[in-house]
Structure formats: C-alpha cells, structure tokens
Structure 1
C-alpha cells in the first residue's frame, strides 16, 4: 500500500526516489537502465517534471516496482491539475481506462494534450508496442525520424522501443486513446 501524506498518496517522484535509494541505485545506473538523462530523472524525483506513461513504465521496470501504483498515483495528480487548471505545469493529462491491470501486459489510457503542445522535456521509448487512436484534434507522432500526422479516426501502431514523441499540432485540444503493450 502506498504511503499516505496528509490524506494523499506520496507524489510519484518521491516514491521513485525512495525506490531508487532503497535499492542503493545511483542516478547513473537508473539512467543506463532507462535511457533517460540524469537531469530528467532528478526533475521527475523532485516533482518538476510529470513523466509520460511510457516513462513511468520504464522507470518502474528498472526499479522493479509495481507500475500500477505509480500510474494510479499519477492519475490522481493529473486530475487535480485539470481541476486547478491555472496550477497546471504539464500540457499532458491522462486517465487510466484499465484499472486493476497493474500486473497485466496491456494498459489503455485516454490522453488529452493541450492545443499546440507536446510532452515537454523528453521524448521516450519503452519495450513493447503502442497503439494510438485519435478521438479529437490533430497530432503528430514522431517515431524515430518518421513523422506521422493523425486526425480524428486515424490510428497508428508502432514499436514503442523506438524513440517517439507525441505532439498536438492543432488549434484545439487533442484527445486520444493510447494502448501500451509491455512484454
């Protein structure tokens, strides 16, 4: 059970830091296990950066912790950000569509990206496959060096082990369904 802090779950960054320090894992080791920069990991642990779902999955795998607990915690934080819009620091929000799938290989999310925004700070990759279906808006999904332009009703299935970046290219918010498979 996650630790409580004033009636709330401990922030995901602090839980990642605790798992890393409990395992006596250095930033360099975690960076090598995930492919993330040490600076990015420090920003996540300090709460300055909200990592995308794929990054949380990669961090949890490297730290050998349950990704479901991190995802539930992060979903609650993102919902708080949506409610307090002026306090948001991220252009990305998601809701888990597969609650209770902590120990499953397949996870689905409803994702919202603000108009003309992308995931700030880092592109990402994680073992497995990813499927994106656009409900509203226009987005670009860069997979490696290839750019895929998608609109409502369009979908993309790709190897998520390849570095990828998701970006809203439209004038309105984009909503999509993202399904991630992790072997």
Structure 2
C-alpha cells in the first residue's frame, strides 16, 4: 500500500494574514486587540517569527479563529527544529499534550527551554490562567514585577492576563509542563 500523501499546512503567518485580510482588519486594529506591535505582527505574517503559544492564543482570539489550527502548524515547525537541532534559531520547543483539543478552553504543552536562555520574545499575556510544572532544570517565571524561581517538582499557577516571561536560569535544559486555560 503506498504511503498516504499529506498536504503540508500553510505557515502560521499566512493563516493569520488570510484571516486578518478576510475580516478586513487593519494592522492597527489587530495591534490594539492583541497589544503587539505592528512590526511584530508583520514579522509573524511574513513567517520571520513564530509566535509563542500565548501570542498565538491572543491573535486567534482577536481574529475569532480556532487557535488549534495555528498551534498545530506552529508545533510542526517546532518539531522540525527539534529534529534539526543545529539548525534551530529559537531557544525553546514545545509539543502539545492535548491533541484534538479544538474548541476547548484548556490546552497543555511540554516545553523545553535551552540552558541559560529566555523563552524568547517580549513578555506576553493572554486572557485566562496558566499553570507551570517543572520536570527538570531551573526556571524563572516573572509575573508582572514578581519573580518566581522554580526547580524540579515546583509549580506555579497565575493569572495569565498579567504580563509574564519565562527564562531558564540553569546550566542545563529545562523541561516543563504548561497548562493554559483560555475562557
């Protein structure tokens, strides 16, 4: 039996641009709905930047599109980065732990952050709540102005509507489980 052919998914930036232009939404309007700069949104649409999970959730909410479609494509790109480690340009990778969670409020991810690296990008926020559980390594989660230091077995639950940022503070890669609740 011949292998099943799959149609490659369009890059996440193209999906976002199509949704934005189909809705006749300007960059200004999308920037105001998400809090992201127009430059950042243009880089996303051009495929120069792959947004983080929280950013994808904000963009999909602003465009009223299913975040799962965007997350699947972004996850595929992250998996390619994992497979071709030397070609990675980002210091993190993630995979979904809740496949088939379309139209669900709760999504879980396994996240890997390289040693001594930030979860690249500016601080971000998205409506809802977030739960982080550290499997390995040491990380810092800055929520607003409060710094939380976490090690293996530690967890943190916080309001993800507050600006937050993730950073690996250890000398080895950190692995964590991140659960995002989006009302």
Runs ≥4 residues deviating over 3 A: none
1:47 and 2:47 correspond: yes
Aligned counterparts, 1:148-159, within 5 A: 148-159=148-159
TM superposition score normalised by structure 1: 0.94
Give CA deviations for 1:99-127 in whole Å, capped at 9, x if unaligned: 11111101000000111111223210000
TM superposition score normalised by structure 2: 0.94
Q: Which residue matches 1:77?
A: 77
Give CA deviations for 1:101-157 in whole Å, capped at 9, x if unaligned: 111101000000111111223210000000000000000000000010000000000
Q: Which residue matches 2:12?
A: 12
Structure 2 gap ranges (5+): 1-5
Bigger radius of gyration? 2
Aligned counterparts, 1:51-130, within 5 A: 51-130=51-130
Indicate the larger mover: 38-47 or 143-152: 38-47
Aligned counterparts, 1:137-156, within 5 A: 137-156=137-156
Say if 1:133 and 1:178, in contact at 8 Å, map to a contact too.
yes
Indicate the larger mover: 83-92 or 62-71: 83-92
**2:56 match: secondary structure:** helix
CA RMSD of aligned residues (A): 1.1
Q: Which residue matches 1:166?
A: 166
CA positional deviation for 1:8: 1.3
Say if 1:110 and 1:176, in contact at 8 Å, map to a contact too.
yes
Alpha-carbon distance between aligned partners in 2 of 1:8 and 1:172, rounded to the nearest angstrom: 34
1:175 and 2:175 correspond: yes
**1:81 match: secondary structure:** helix
Alpha-carbon distance between aligned partners in 1 of 2:40 and 2:69, rounded to the nearest angstrom: 21
